[in-house]
Amino acid sequence: MIDDHLLRDLTPQILGVLVRRGADFAAAEDAVQDALIEAVRRWDGEAPDDPKGWLVTVAWRKFLDARRSASARAVREIAVRREPAPGATEQADDTLLLLSRCCHPALSPASAVALTLRAVGGLTTAQIARAFLVPESTMAQRISRAKRTLAGERFERPGDVRAVLRVLYLMFDQGFAGVNPGSNRSVGDADLAAEAIRLARQLVASVPRDPEATGLLALMLLHHARRAARLDASGGLVPLARQDRSRWDTAMIAEGVELLQGALALDRLGEYQAQAAIAALHDDAASAEETDWPQILEWFDELTRLVPDSPVVALNRAVAVGHVDGPLAGLRLVEQLDPGLPRRDAVAAYLYERAGDHTEAARLYAVAAETAPSLAERAHLVKQAARLHQARRAQS
């Protein structure tokens, strides 16, 4: 068997070589995909001694073939700069270059995620299509549209790392899309959260002195460590407070904490580091009761300073205030937020329950269930309302 990871690790490297030789991004990306397909076909279970050299040769030939057939009537000379094989530094630069290209602000977030998964992650269009539950032809169009959008953009300088971080965060946060315990996932399907972590690792290797890149990787690991405990056997959501903490991945938490400490030591705080710090404090508690809410609230205050206009941060901060200053203080903050804000009623229900008003809590859980954005959340909220109703019946 050819190691799937070998091919996928090589994907951005080959693409980088082609782009540096003067190929435009869209054509180079197609050529690399063609070369990967040929590798799977021709290697016959065993990689050649120099798989990267083989792939570069084949991909470059594919690129030239496509170029020749595309401009058969007016053959244009292209400048081919023969370059020595790139060293580790150039590879790291290539990764950043390609990531910032795929996460270009001109692209919609969904297009950027799809293009990144293919061009840098080395996934096939079919795998990406399955992860997002759309036909392969639709995903192929989404990717080629994204490439058309990028055509003509200058491609020499690595772009905005912030844009890359946003796209990787989005990819990670959709991580459940690829993994549904209720469905039969076949081997080879994309696990979006794992992909996002893999790409964030490559990014951090490219920009080791960027504390927000490291902060984002830490944030991902600190959340991913809880994954086994987040869903029950039937795919239902298990809230943080009720998770079986013995199922958390302690090695992953340790790595996340170490990365976060390294990032914080650079003394340039940003939102991903602050979010990672909050996740680390949750991960650090042996039980829900032992959660260090005062320190979590301090980090929410930092986060509010960093992203003052985020209603989502304000809502989550209200939960922390509810734990530190009491549920009524938390509710006062929730009441100031836009009634249409997603999860607002769910948070209010939670705080009313903690305040002892179970009637209002049950009502709000039911209201929140009506507008839940996912079936798993709706089922969870309906169960909360049902639990409170059952308790009231038992009392009367």
Residues at the site binding other proteins, with contacts judged by CB under 8 A:
108-111, 132-135, 137-139, 141-143, 145, 169, 172-177, 180, 193, 219, 223-224, 227, 237, 240, 275, 372-378
Q: Are 44 and 174 in contact (CB under 8 A)?
A: no
Report d(CA 155, CA 101) in Å as an integer: 7
In the complex, minimum distance from the CB of residue 100 to other proteins, in angstroms, rounded to a whole number: 21
Q: Which of 220-241 are b and which e, b meaning 16 or more Cβ less than 10 Å from the residue's Cβ? A: bbbbbbbbebbbeeeeebeeee
CB 212, CB 273: distance < 8 Å:
yes
43-49 contacts, C-beta under 8 A, 24 or more apart: 43/2, 45/1, 45/2, 46/2, 47/2, 47/3, 47/6
Q: Taking the complex as a whole, how short is the minimal distance between the CB of residue 25 and other proteins, in angstroms?
A: 18
DSSP H helical ranges for 72-108: 88-102
Tell me how far, at minimum, the Cβ of 256 lies from other proteins, in Å. 13
CB of 144 vs other proteins, minimal distance in Å: 8
Closest CA to 62 of 114, 17, 9: 17
Cβ-based nearer residue to other proteins, 20 or 142: 142
Q: Please identify, using beta-carbon distances, which residue of 96 and 347 lies nearer to other proteins.
A: 347
In whole angstroms, give the CA distance from residue 216 to residue 63.
35
- Give residue 281's identity as a one-letter amino acid code: L
Shorter beta-carbon distance to other proteins: residue 96 or 193: 193
Q: From CA 204, how far away is CA 212, in angstroms rounded?
A: 9
If the CB atoms of residues 36 and 369 are measured against other proteins, the closer one turns out to be: 369
For other proteins, the closer of residues 23 and 165 by Cβ is 165
CB of 59 to other proteins, least distance (A): 25
Compute the distance between CA of residue 197 and CA of residue 185 in angstroms, rounded to an integer: 20
| Nearer residue to other proteins within complex by CB, 114 or 361 | 114
Q: Which is nearer to other proteins, 53 or 239 (by Cβ)? A: 239
Beta-bridge partner residues of 231: 237
Q: How far is the CB of 223 from other proteins (least distance, A)?
A: 6
Tell me how far, at minimum, the Cβ of 208 lies from other proteins, in Å.
24
What number of other Cβ atoms are within 10 A of residue 198's Cβ?
A: 18
CB 297 within 8 Å of CB 317? yes
Shortest Å, Cβ 374 to other proteins? 4
Q: Which is nearer to other proteins, 71 or 137 (CB)?
A: 137
